Amino acid sequence: MPKMGSHARCRPSLPGLFLPLLLLLTPSAAAPTTKPYINSTADYSTECKTCPHSLCTNKQYYISGDSLNATCWTRGTKIAGDTLWLRTEAGCYVTQYDIAEYDGDYTAVLEYCGKDSEGEDLTEEDGTLQYKTECRICPDLQCDVVAYLPEETDVTLTCWTDEGQTVIDDPIWLKTRNNCYVAEIGLYSKPDTTYLDNCGPIPFLEIELHNNENVTSEVDKRNAFPEPVIHSPHYLINVTVGEDFAYCRDRPDVSGKIEKRYPFNSEVWLQCLVENNGTWWSETTDFCYVKNSDFWESPEGDYYRNPLCAYFGEPPS
């Protein structure tokens, strides 16, 4: 007859045997959980960049309402007080400022893209402006003017595009370290684009939604424009002389010294406008002034919307 209690010794209780194993198999409640992506939409047109900085080239862009998946987060140019950027399923980066607000913390839910993702890889080439130049937020004459740059201004060019609006006979625009685009025609010499990256696809942008003044890192900071631009003026407009001669003077005044004389029906390229005692004058690409009444067209009219010369300030000494 077995001894009392021998059965218990031969078959230990199940909880005593399996409890440590169950503890090992049960995930800790404190362990973080990450998602492979977070779905979002673009609030308005935004550039998806090859690196998380405003000067980086574009891989693609999203327009308002476009869906995208954010797959990881990183740090880049400060936009609206925040350095957080997101990599999308397309393998490019958007600032979180440009997409729908997320009710949560991207850094807690998505993986970090890695330290290498924070780099800024740019190509650069120097250039000098030969004319007064409107530096625009995108390479089109309908895009807002970010900065008015006087002639002889040195600029650092970072990329090029031939998808811009043709000015005179040249469709190429270049992005500068002012984080805006200048038309190639305004430079003394054409840059060697073999040393510059292509800017990639560029959406139509508006300063109201993308002006980073005072909230962007110093290297990417844009020069402030003198006043809001309601209607973008045209650049280097072409007009025709309607008098026997149009006298181009060293200042916008009939008593000014005559620097050049344009004959009847000749084409003249204009940079900007000056009003003097009720008379409108235009500064030509020869850097002298002609009365607008000497042209067939009216450069000061609504059709042209040419900028005032005063916007550009004095050229560098």
Q: What is the pLDDT of residues 192-226, one digit of tens each?
A: 999 999 999 999 998 877 755 433 334 444 344 44
Q: State mean pLDDT over 10-28.
A: 45
Rounded to two decimals, the pTM is: 0.82
Q: What domains sit in the chain, N to C, each tagged with a CATH number?
A: 38-118 (2.30.30), 125-220 (2.30.30.40), 237-312 (2.30.30)
Closest C-alpha among 181, 197, 107 to residue 146: 181
Q: For all residues of the chain together, what is the average pLDDT?
A: 85
pLDDT band of 23, cuts 50, 70, 90:
very low
What pLDDT does 206 receive? 86
> What pLDDT shows up at residue 35?
85
pLDDT of residue 304: 72
Q: Which of 251, 258, 245 is CA-nearest to residue 274? A: 251
Q: What percent of the chain has pLDDT over 70?
A: 81
Chain centroid, CA 247 distance in Å: 40
Residues 6+ apart with CB under 8 A from 53: 76, 77, 120, 220
Say if residue 94's pLDDT is above 70.
Answer: yes
Lowest mean pLDDT among 76-85, 93-102, 185-194, 233-242: 233-242
The pLDDT of 293-304, averaged and rounded, is 84
Alpha-carbon span 227 to 141, nearest angstrom: 17
pLDDT tier at 22, thresholds 50, 70, 90: very low
Q: Give pLDDT, residue 302.
A: 64
